[in-house]
């Protein structure tokens, strides 16, 4: 290949890359909207940020992977085909943009929109070190792995067992099982993770901090004899005078509650993911 052809090839690559790195309204997916119709957009993973480039359209986020849009009524007269603005949706690992086009006919407005694969632009969100999809993948591999039984507790003929703790990035994966040795189904009311003081005396006020799981693998509402789950929490350290507790409570009327204490030494001994679990 001669020098001129080589430089022409390099220039073509840069031009092609530059053209594909930009997006204009001409190549943007368009959504028709109407003030009497709510347009619902659903992402495949939690939405972390939404920007609506106009005050002609209002929106909200009722659940973590869904947003709702609707043009304002009575602001000004919109004509069919008017571009009202652009909505930008940023998730954990991609972003998508849609042009909002006005239609005066409600039957033409988009009511339900799922973000498709070819409408996603890859984006490494700096606020997300581990995506929900990645958490789910790791948690499933833990769920199928062999349990080690670090510690356990028993109450009301129900046994809770801590199988293992894994550390991935800035998160802990807590793997635990429950064995119901009765024939009474356990109807789950709440699964709680708490950091609290060790009880020293009856007169001592015990400080409790409830931790919100970043991810929970199994959201079953009941089980008969066996239950296993993997929950993910932000990595934390705590002094020796505090304990981490996993608590599972049952709905009334039975109202059984089983809890398990995770000691600081257990956290310090958390395993890193090995190749077997990553693959």
pLDDT tens, per residue, the chain with 279 residues: 454 444 444 444 444 444 455 566 667 899 999 999 999 999 999 999 999 998 899 999 999 999 999 998 865 677 888 899 999 999 989 999 999 999 999 999 999 999 999 999 988 888 888 888 889 999 999 998 888 888 899 988 999 999 999 988 889 999 999 999 999 899 999 999 998 887 655 555 667 888 899 999 999 999 999 999 999 998 887 777 788 899 999 887 777 899 998 888 888 777 776 655 655
- Neighbouring-strand partners of residue 230: 175
Torsion angles phi and psi, residue 25, rounded to 5 = -60, -25
Please tell me whether the peptide bond between 274 and the residue prior to it is cis, using omega within 30 degrees of 0.
no
Distance between CA 58 and CA 17 in Å, rounded? Answer: 35
Distance between CA 250 and CA 255 in Å, rounded? Answer: 5
């Amino acid at each position: 290949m001669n020098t001129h052809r080589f430089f022409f090839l390099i220039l073509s690559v840069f031009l092609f890359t530059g053209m594909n790195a930009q997006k204009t309204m001409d190549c943007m997916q368009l959504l028709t909207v109407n003030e009497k119709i709510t347009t619902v957009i659903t992402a495949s993973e939690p939405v972390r940020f939404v920007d609506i480039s106009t005050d002609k359209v209002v929106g909200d986020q009722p659940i973590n992977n869904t947003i709702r849009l609707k043009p304002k009524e009575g602001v000004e007269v919109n004509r069919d085909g008017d571009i009202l603005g652009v909505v930008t949706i940023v998730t954990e690992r991609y972003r998508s943009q849609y042009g909002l086009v006005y239609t005066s006919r409600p039957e033409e407005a988009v009511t339900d929109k799922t973000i498709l694969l070819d409408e996603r632009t890859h984006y490494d969100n700096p606020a997300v070190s581990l995506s929900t999809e990645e958490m789910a993948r790791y948690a499933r591999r833990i769920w199928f792995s062999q349990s080690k039984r670090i510690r356990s507790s028993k109450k009301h003929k129900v046994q809770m067992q801590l199988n293992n703790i894994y550390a991935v990035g800035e998160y802990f994966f807590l793997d635990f099982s429950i064995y119901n040795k009765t024939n009474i189904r356990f109807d789950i009311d709440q699964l709680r993770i708490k950091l609290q003081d060790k009880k020293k005396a009856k007169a001592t006020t015990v400080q409790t901090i409830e931790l919100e799981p970043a991810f929970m693998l199994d959201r079953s509402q009941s089980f008969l004899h066996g239950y296993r789950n993997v929950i993910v929490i932000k990595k934390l350290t705590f002094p020796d005078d505090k304990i981490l507790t996993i608590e599972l409570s049952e709905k009334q009327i039975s109202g059984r509650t089983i809890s398990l204490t995770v000691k600081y030494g257990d956290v310090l001994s958390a395993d890193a993911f090995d190749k077997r679990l990553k693959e």
